[in-house]
Structure formats: structure tokens, C-alpha cells
Amino acid sequence: MNLIFEAGKYEIIVIGAGHAGCEAALAAARMGCPTLLVTMSVENIALMPCNPSVGGPAKAQLVREIDALGGEMGVNIDKSSIQMRMINTGKGPAVQALRAQADKHEYGREMIKTILGQPGLDLLMAEVVDIEAEEERVKAVVTRTGARYKCRAIVLTTGTYLKGRIIAGEVIFDGGPGNQFPSVRLSDSLRGMGIKLGRFKTGTPPRIDRKTIDFSRMEEQPGDDKPWRFSFISPPPQRQQLSCWLTHSTSETHRIVMENIERAPMFTGVIEGIGTRYCPSFEDKVVRFSHKPSHQLFVEPEGRDTDEMYVQGLNTSLPEDVQIRVLRSIPGLEHVHMIRTGYAIEYDYVIPTQARPTLENKVIAGLFTAGQINGTSGYEEAAAQGLIAGINAALTVQDRAPFMLKRSEAYIGVMIDDLVTKQGNEPYRVLTSRAEYRLLLRQDNADLRLTEMGRAIGLVDDYRWGIFKEKKTLLEKGTHYLQSTTFTSADKEMDCYLASIASAPLRDRTSLWELLRRPEIRVKDLIDCGWFNAEDENVISQIQIQCKYEGYIKKQRDQVLRFEKLESKQIPEDFDYGRVYSLSNEASQKLKEIRPLSIGHASRIAGVTPSDINILLIYMQKRRK
């Protein structure tokens, strides 16, 4: 053990500089707290060790919410994206989601610039091996070299590094993502403080050389022409987009996997940690879905200045020689060169039910946890937790009231409530199905929901606030104009327009707002006809959504009010869940085991989704009748 020496004092220390750590450190510093960000590798700040992308269903909502509160992820991906697409455009606005492919190296470089340029934030390359606490309150951290830094709050964002173990076939060694060093002693320090740890697993696919790919055998997946952006304050992008490519596994691929299944660590008992069901290993998919002749695989660029390509959907811990054979059995990859071997990584995590909704530990005051250390998966989930943990760490040292988001206010609120309430047995991933009020929690209105909260906290600066206020003013003026401008059947121009689009003629005095409710009429149509004036695409889109879904939005707001009464809805002790046939198998099993006392209690059990709760409510109502 090195001699410990006093190295400095900060109000907040953030351990780990992944997506959670970056958001936590920036938030704390921007709120006026002297902050130290400690990382084992400055070069790997905001590393994307798995898929180099941001967004997608539910995840896009998280990114927009981070941005609306004054976080950094949305701004950073707008700077470094190489492709953007809007997902689920054929569905309603509640599930539409923006997805960006990132230049992973540029993403990291841009985040490093932001951190180094942030006043009140110091960066340190070191390994924290011990957390000191006194009278159940954090006091300091100690590095491997013996440097001791005092602090009033700690945000722990160590990702998958705690006792990390890399596994690829028969090859097993201690390591972090991308063959970096693991953090070993910090796990023991946490256990010594009485914190309960679990063991999870995640994985990544092999990376391949672009020059050895036959793209003619694949389906091109270009980006959208529309200049999308995640951040509400980013300028319109001037990016040249790169395409992704779609291919499929084959029966030969599956044969190779099954012939070597006895060498797969997932099935030999070598891997002890539990992985996420929503992103299973490829060999697991082949075994579990043996009736499927093929599986989709997306070949995606990792950046503009590299030939490395990412094979999404091929997460694997099969031996290296088997991985090469699997790759070369896929159309377009017959002569491919593998640059990096896919692998699984096991790691320790802190069981998140030990945390409060602020993400502060219930036993050790001033200790906050965020990201994959809380048993979650995904960059977006990590960043969102990091932001909330950083905010609350700052509020704690400033003796201010904590900041918590309700399930009805944000996807961030849904995720954190799930984490601290439900005893999860697998890595948590945010899903639209987890959000009861997803029509209210759309990606397009995150600023309207949360920017004023961010301003009150002290994270939303004057520039962002000015953009928000201007948008809100335009939205209010536009809505008022549409609701107050009316037409009658005597208006010949309107009568001719409605006839031209086969829309019913006016009988009574009707406002433009009421006309806009008709499925065949859009805001753009009213603008083209000269009945409405608006230029801001975001305002136009927002008006159209609010008008066309007005009735549904009102119903969901009423549901929010009713949600508060769920705790009073008692469930009989002898309730027979087996008679509720529409429940998922997992929900029925968990409900039988736990026997919740109320609907509110049932809604917080891991494995019981919002749709399951709705089914229970309907069944109980019928039973009472």
C-alpha cells in the first residue's frame, strides 16, 4: 500500500468518465460546485465500446430530456453524427424516435473538449481504489498512487469496469471494455461499506474491415434527407451522411453456431453474470429461436476516418476461430477480415434498490450511483442517470431541495422509479412500453416539459432559455390564432379547398384549429393556402401534434390524475392471477410470488409492465361489477 498523501479538496468527485460520468461532472460544475472528474484513461472519455449510435425508441426521448434540462449528450451527438434517421415514422408521435450513427472517435474528442473547457471542473487520470466514509457519510477518495481527495459528495459512474472479466470462447482474462484495465479494489471497498453488489454481463460483436465487404449483396440503409438534430439549441446540420447496410444470417451461419455450441461460454457455465434479454448474444438467438431461418444484421460505420465497421446484431462470446467462420457465412462478408474479436464482459454492479429516487445511497449519505453500475444498459440510460445524480449531488452540497422527476413527467422519471423500486434480475433497458404516459412524454415536447425545470435548477443558460422562450411564444401565438380564426360556409375559397381534397363542407362556423383536426388537413396545407403563417418547423410540428392528438392527450392527463389514486386500490389477498389470461407469463409469475397489496404496489414490481397494470384494472373493475 502506497503512503497516502493529501492531494486536494473538492465539493463533488465523479468517478468514471463514461456517458454517466461526463453528464454528472458537467452538471455539478455548471451548478457552481468545484468538481473533480477521475478517469482511468483520458483518451477513452465518453467511450462507445459497443454500438456507436445514440437514440432509437425510448432512448431518443431520454436524449431530448437530457438536452432540455441542460445536459450535453444531444449537443455532442449533433456535432459528431454521421447519419440520422427518424424511426417508426409510420406510427404515432408517441413512439417515433430519432436515431443517430456516431463517429465514435469524434464523439469522444468533442466531449473531452467540453470537459476541459468547463470552468469549475478538473480532470484527473487515476484509478480510485477506496472510498472513505465517516458516520455513514462520504468523506474522501483514495487513488492507487495514494492520493487522497476530500469531498462532500461522490458520484460513482464506473460502468462495466468493476472486476471486469473479458470472455471469448476459452480465452478469459481480467479487463474492461476494449481490453482496458478493470477496477478491482473499488468493488471490495464498496462491499466493505455494506453495499450489496450483483454480477451482470454484456457483450459486443466483432469489428470488420470495410475494404473486405461486398456491399452489392446487402441492402443500403441511407440517412434521412431532413436535417434532424437531437438538441433543441443545435444549428441545422451540414453533415455528409454515411450509409449503413442490412444483411442476414443464413442456415449455414446457424449450423456453424450449433456445431460449436459446446464451446460457447454462454452455455458452458463459464459466464456467471446475467445479460439483457433485449440485446442477447447471437448464439443465444440461434438457440432460442431455432425456428427462424435468419436474423437481421446491420453493418454500420464506426466513423468517417476509419474502415472499421460494426456488425449490429452479432454480439457474441464464441471462440475467435468460430467468429471468423460465422462472419464469412453471411452474405456480403464471404471474404471479410475481422479487425476486432467480439467478446462478453462480466462486471459488478450496485443493486439499485439501495438508492433513493435522487440516486443517493440510502445508507451512505453523499454517495450517488449512475449508469451501468446501477444495472442498466445503454449510453442514453447512463447519461440520463448521470445528469440526475450530478444535479442532486450539487443540490445536496448546496443544501437545496432534491430534484426528482415523476413517471408522468419524463422517461427519466420512469427509468429511475423502475430502478429504485423494482428488484431487477437483468440489465435494465428503457422501453416505450415501460412508460404509461408515453403520449405525453414524446421526444418532440421534451423542452416544453423540462426546460423550465432545468432553468430553476441552474443548468439552463441564457442562450438555451432564449431559444425556448421564443419557441414557446410562437407556439402560443400560433395556437391562439388557429383557435380564434373561423370560417363559415359562405367563405367560397375555403369551400372550394375542402371540396378539392374531398373533405366535408362547413355547416357551422368552424375554426382553423377544428379544421386541422381532420386527418386530411395539415398545418402545411393551411400555410400554403395563406390562412396561417409559420416558418419554424419545430413549431409547425408541435402545433400539428397537439391539435390532432388533443383528445388523446387530454385522456392521458386525466390518467395522470388517476394514477395518484392507485395506491388506494387494494388487491384482495386471495386474488387469482391465473384467471387473468391476458397477463404476460412473467407478470403473472411475479404477482403470484409477491402478492402485492395494491395496484400501485403491483405497478412497481419488476416484470409487471404498464399494459399488465391496465389489464389488472380492467379485470378488477369487471369483477366488482
Q: What is the pTM of this model?
A: 0.90
Rounded Cα distance between 416 and 109, Å, is: 29
Rounded Cα distance between 389 and 622, Å, is: 43
The CATH number of the domain where 152 resides is what? 3.50.50.60
513 in any annotated domain? yes
* CB 190 within 8 Å of CB 161: no
Asked whether residue 371 falls in the same domain as residue 312, the answer is no
Asked whether residue 32 falls in the same domain as residue 179, the answer is yes
397 in any annotated domain? yes
60 in any annotated domain? no
| Among the listed residues 169, 165, 166, the one whose alpha carbon sits nearest the alpha carbon of residue 265 | 169
DSSP secondary structure string, 407-428? Answer: TTT-HHHHHHHHHHHS--SS-B
The CATH number of the domain where 613 resides is what? 1.10.150.570
Asked whether residue 385 falls in the same domain as residue 488, the answer is no
Give residue 212's pLDDT: 98
* CB 75 within 8 Å of CB 231: yes
Determine phi and psi for 201, rounding to 5 degrees: -135, 145
Amino acid at 101: Q
| Among the listed residues 450, 358, 399, the one whose alpha carbon sits nearest the alpha carbon of residue 155 | 358
455 in any annotated domain? no
Asked whether residue 571 falls in the same domain as residue 518, the answer is no
Structural domain range at position 365: 5-52+107-201+347-429
Asked whether residue 353 falls in the same domain as residue 272, the answer is no
Rounded Cα distance between 494 and 512, Å, is: 10
| 308: enclosing H helix or E strand | strand 308-312
Instruction: Using alpha carbons, list the distances in angstroms from residue 340 to 203, 305, 437, 557.
Output: 13, 17, 42, 49
Determine phi and psi for 360, rounding to 5 degrees: -85, 140
Chain segment 501-517, per-residue pLDDT in tens: 999 999 999 999 999 99
Instruction: Using alpha carbons, list the distances in angstroms from residue 360 to 65, 71, 569.
Output: 21, 19, 30
C-alpha torsion sign, points 572, 577, 580, 586: positive
Among 345, 363, 379, give the residue marking a domain's end.
Answer: 345
604 in any annotated domain? yes
DSSP secondary structure string, 244-269? Answer: EEEEE--HHHHHHHHHTGGG-HHHHT
Number of domains in the chain: 4
Q: What would the grid cell of residue 68 be?
A: 432540455
Alpha helices in 32-180 (DSSP H): 59-68, 73-80, 104-116
Give residue 568's pLDDT: 65
Instruction: Using alpha carbons, list the distances in angstroms from residue 388 to 15, 130, 290, 442.
Output: 15, 24, 42, 19
Order the strands of the 207-209 sheet from edge to edge: 219-221, 244-248, 296-301, 308-312, 207-209, 338-340
Rounded Cα distance between 89 and 97, Å, is: 8
Asked whether residue 365 falls in the same domain as residue 475, the answer is no
User: How many other C-beta atoms can be found within 10 angstroms of the C-beta atom of residue 592?
Assistant: 12
Among 287, 316, 345, give the residue marking a domain's end.
Answer: 345
How, if at all, do strands 12-15 and 35-39 pair? parallel
Rounded Cα distance between 488 and 508, Å, is: 6
Which parts of the chain register pLDDT below 50?
none
Asked whether residue 46 falls in the same domain as residue 185, the answer is yes
Angle between helices 446-457 and 59-68 (to 10 degrees): 40
C-alpha torsion sign, points 326, 330, 333, 335: positive
Asked whether residue 334 falls in the same domain as residue 386, the answer is no
Chain segment 115-138, per-residue pLDDT in tens: 999 999 999 999 999 999 999 999
* CB 200 within 8 Å of CB 158: no
64 in any annotated domain? no
Give residue 45's pLDDT: 97
Asked whether residue 272 falls in the same domain as residue 406, the answer is no
Determine phi and psi for 245, rounding to 5 degrees: -140, 140
Order the strands of the 197-204 sheet from edge to edge: 171-174, 165-168, 343-350, 197-204
The CATH number of the domain where 318 resides is what? 2.40.30.260
User: How many other C-beta atoms can be found within 10 angstroms of the C-beta atom of residue 185?
Assistant: 14
User: How many other C-beta atoms can be found within 10 angstroms of the C-beta atom of residue 350?
Assistant: 22
Give residue 593's pLDDT: 60
Asked whether residue 45 falls in the same domain as residue 123, the answer is yes
Q: How far is CA 233 from the centre of its chain?
A: 20
Rounded Cα distance between 273 and 199, Å, is: 5
303 in any annotated domain? yes
453 in any annotated domain? no
Asked whether residue 43 falls in the same domain as residue 192, the answer is yes
Q: Is 472 helix (H, G, I), strand (E, B) or coil?
A: helix
Q: Is 174 helix (H, G, I), strand (E, B) or coil?
A: strand
Order the strands of the 138-143 sheet from edge to edge: 5-9, 147-150, 138-143, 128-133
Tell me the Ramachandran region of residue 530: left when phi exceeds 0, alpha when psi lies from -120 to 50, beta otherwise: left
Rounded Cα distance between 516 and 478, Å, is: 13
Rounded Cα distance between 358 and 393, Å, is: 9
Asked whether residue 337 falls in the same domain as residue 351, the answer is no
Amino acid at 358: T
